[in-house]
Amino acid sequence: MKTLKYTLLLALIALSISCSQEDEEFYNAVYTTIPGLVSIEVQSDYQVNDVLWLNTNDFSRYLNEPNQTSLLDVYQTTNSQKFSFLYRLERQVNGEWENVAVGTNFVEDNGTMSIGNYVTANAIYNSNTEMYEFRGGLRLTQAGQYRIGFFSGYNGSNFDVISDSSNNSTFLTIATTANNVTNGFYAFTVN
């Protein structure tokens, strides 16, 4: 009876293994690197209550993909109405970089933003312009040393812009860059 129990247990374990094998793994995803999809609207100087704007003015539906002779149609690939990327605002306090709680100090000009511990920027597809459009800003409420930080992308550098693909459409992750960003940060001073 004991051995029968062990055999049944083994059978259950094997059943569970057989239900979660390679064929269950996620396969429908493409990763590529296309620089320059995000722009920081750099000013020569910043004053308190200025807004630091970011945009995706160069994020067309059709993008140059490395090592390909044809443009990549990201909308046809993903059927995604939006692409998202993350960033955060930090302020230097006593020599340490601290996350700034953005709260309601943000402005949506185009696309949408959601604010938590970091900012999620959503570039929304415009079928007329065939662009993924975003322009959003953070209001700088205090003087000091600041920096915008991006999270490392799938390739270990850059940062990711990720599609919001529906059910059986391909998920697309694009490692991209922004202007004036060094080692993942754009640093500036608010006077």
Partner 1 sequence: MKKFIFIFLVFTQVSVAQENNSFDLGKNEIKFDIVSLVALGKIHVSYERFLSNDFSVGISGNFNQSKSREEDFELGKNRTLEEYQIIPFVRYSLSKSQIRYYFVEVFVSANQGKYRELERLVDQNNNGYYQALQKEYSDYAVGAAVGHKFYIKEKLGVDIFVGMGKNLFSSGESPDIISRVGVNLGYRF
Residues of this chain that interact with partner 1 (CB under 8 A) are: 3-4, 7-8, 10-11, 13-15, 17-19, 21-25, 27-28, 30, 62, 65, 68, 70-73, 76-77, 167-170, 172
Minimum CB–partner distance for residue 38 and partner 1 (Å): 22
Tell me if residue 55 falls in helix, strand or coil: strand
Nearer to partner 1, 77 or 110 (CB): 77
Nearer to partner 1, 68 or 142 (CB): 68
Distance between CA atoms of 49 and 43, rounded to whole angstroms? 13
The dihedral through the CA atoms of 67, 68, 69, 72 has a sign that is negative
Residues with Cβ within 8 Å of 72's Cβ and at least 6 positions away in sequence, in order, are 32, 34, 62, 63, 64, 65
Tell me if residue 39 falls in helix, strand or coil: strand
Nearer to partner 1, 171 or 185 (CB): 171
Spell 58-74 as b/e; 16+ CB within 10 A means b.
bbbbebebeeeeeebeb
Nearer to partner 1, 72 or 190 (CB): 72
Minimum CB–partner distance for residue 14 and partner 1 (Å): 4
Minimum CB–partner distance for residue 52 and partner 1 (Å): 34
Nearer to partner 1, 158 or 163 (CB): 163
Minimum CB–partner distance for residue 100 and partner 1 (Å): 38
Q: Which residue has the tokens 């044809």?
A: 70
Minimum CB–partner distance for residue 57 and partner 1 (Å): 21
